[in-house]
Amino acid sequence: MSDGRAGIEAQALGLAEAVARRRDTQVVVKRIGWKGNLGRLPWWLTPFPRRWLTPESDVAPPWPDILIAAGRATLPLAIRMKTWSGGKTFVVQIQDPRVPAKFFDLVIPPNHDRLKGDNIVSIIGAPHRVTADKLASEYPRFAGAIDPLPRPRAAVLIGGKSRAFDLTPERAATIANDIQQAIEAEGGSLLMTFSRRTPPQARALLTARLKHLPGLIWDGEGDNPYFAFLAGADYVLVTEDSANMATEAAGTGKPVFILKMDGQSLKFRLFHEELERHGATRPFAGVFERWTYEPLTETDRAAGEVLARRDAALAAASAG
């Protein structure tokens, strides 16, 4: 359950898919929409939340065995799900909900949020959908375009403006120059995609500066090649503003280079230090290096915790 934004939904869906890999599970996606601006209000100001949902939200019985919710828009629903289901739904909230963790059975935030508690299991970065099987299944749809490209192939994942970071034209020009030099020095190719948050000027500049290189630059039209780019790449470059993309890249086991942006954040500094300690990432200095590390599998670890704690809760209820 999420508000449908791609990055938020991917986290909840990634964890749900990881649960389904461990146990026979039907995964149902719910995208929450609120009438008017009610979704912006604190959860406690929406005492009868189902009355104010858009019809497409479809929050109704039968209630799930496990609810995995992400994002502020889901809080009025996730907090009440235990009551609606008569205590039968195990409620998991990912990210920092910014409300007391006691409202949920389990909270799964990133380590860099520094939350502690008996029902809190923190992980490096964010839950995600990247697995070897996922990449292998997505690649064939784009293999005809990617296979002929010279190696090494560099997947470049560009984020954008956030509360902590910005991608100015000047910074975009520096990134473009560094990427161009590295790819030309290796005789390789480019697989580049942008975020919805990428500023139009930065997107246009990066496209103009790099379109002459062998490779593919996704313009947002047609099927999304994101997973195929990760599958076909030898290196992955990610702007530092996105915990989602950096964690997904670290799930590939391929060398991941972090692209500097304008701005800074203590939480993101702690996050990137974690990825470096794991051996997944290094700052991009304009040249490619090869190294190996164990792909990050924090999503699977979180799924194991969800099932173990739910099983324990069911056993305790039966014993009582």
Domains and CATH numbers, the chain: 6-124+300-319 (no CATH), 132-283 (3.40.50.2000)
Please work out, in degrees rounded to the nearest 5, the angle formed at the alpha carbon of residue 88 by the alpha carbons of 82 and 93: 50
Beta-carbon contacts of residue 297 (< 8 Å; ≥ 6 apart)? 251
Q: Give the type of residue at 317.
A: A
Q: In this predicted model, what pLDDT tens digit does every residue of 101-129 receive, in sequence order? A: 999 999 999 999 999 999 999 999 999 99
* Longest CA span, the chain: 68
Sign of the C-alpha dihedral computed for residues 272, 277, 281 and 283 taken in this order: positive
Nearest Cα neighbor of 273 from 258, 295, 285 is 258
Residue 177: its H or E element: helix 169-186
> Can you tell me the distance from the alpha carbon of 204 to that of 101, in angstroms, rounded to the nearest whole number?
43
Q: How confident is the model at residue 140, as a pLDDT?
A: 98
Are 57 and 33 contacting, i.e. CB atoms less than 8 angstroms apart?
yes
Q: In this predicted model, what pLDDT tens digit does every residue of 259-318 receive, in sequence order? A: 999 999 999 999 999 999 999 999 999 999 999 999 999 999 999 999 999 999 999 988
Q: In this predicted model, what pLDDT tens digit does every residue of 16-55 receive, in sequence order? A: 999 999 999 999 999 999 988 777 777 777 778 898 899 8
3-class secondary structure, 94 = strand
Q: How confident is the model at residue 43, as a pLDDT?
A: 73
Q: How confident is the model at residue 97, as a pLDDT?
A: 93
| % of the chain exceeding 70 in pLDDT | 99
The DSSP symbol for 260 reads P
* Stretch among 45-59, 141-155, 176-190, 248-262 having the lowest mean pLDDT: 45-59
Q: In this predicted model, what pLDDT tens digit does every residue of 53-85 receive, in sequence order? A: 998 999 999 999 999 999 999 999 999 999 999
Nearest Cα neighbor of 243 from 70, 163, 125, 89 is 125
- Mean pLDDT (whole number) for 206-231: 96
Long-range contacts of 77-86 (CB under 8 A, 24+ apart): 77/1, 77/32, 77/49, 77/50, 78/1, 78/103, 78/104, 79/43, 79/103, 79/104, 80/49
- Mean pLDDT (whole number) for 175-191: 98
- Mean pLDDT (whole number) for 2-22: 95
Nearest Cα neighbor of 110 from 225, 250, 236 is 250
Q: How confident is the model at residue 153, as a pLDDT?
A: 98
Average per-residue pLDDT for the chain: 95
Cis peptide before 152, with omega less than 30 degrees from 0?
yes
